[in-house]
Amino acid sequence: MQDFKNWLEQCKESGKTTFSYEEIIAHLDAKPSNNMLLATKIVEYLNSQVGSTFTTKSKKTLELINARLSEGYTLHEFKLVIDRKAQQWLFTEQAKYLRPTTLFNATKFEIYLNESDITNGKPTTKLQKIGVAINEAKSNW
């Protein structure tokens, strides 16, 4: 929708005041913004790492991601936060907090990003498997 508003503003500045139906539809159906594409990648990555089914249809999820993107955070930094918290929380009581409202909120995102990380942003799949084995061993102890 922002692309459509930008197009209208450009038309206004150039003095164009009439539009064909086709022009309007073409601009309303424009490709999603870069932030929307990034938000989709972020949510898909979260889902792939923690086995969730979050979507970008949630207004709150989009607001949180767009707010962090507007602060200058990158896709790589979102992935670091997801990886770190998944490593720490997956298969524990805290697993329920592996969600956009917790991971991407304004007060915690930077804290999570700057936590020490033994994986240095690399995929944590093997570490997550080790975590499961450790938790199972603890419960059988």
The predicted pLDDT at position 27 comes to: 63
At 41, is the secondary structure helix, strand, or coil?
Answer: helix
The predicted pLDDT at position 126 comes to: 62
Helical H segments across the chain, by residue range = 2-14, 21-28, 34-50, 59-70, 75-89, 100-103, 109-114, 125-140
Instruction: Note whether 129 and 108 are within 8 A (CB).
Output: no
- Give the up-direction half-sphere exposure of residue 15: CA atoms within 13 A in the CB hemisphere: 0
pTM higher than the cut 0.85: no
DSSP 106-140: TTTHHHHHHS--TTTTS--HHHHHHHHHHHHHHHH
Residue ranges of the chain with per-residue pLDDT less than 50: 119, 121-123
Which sequence spans correspond to the domains of the chain?
1-30, 34-140
How far is Cα 134 from Cα 140, in angstroms, rounded to an integer?
10
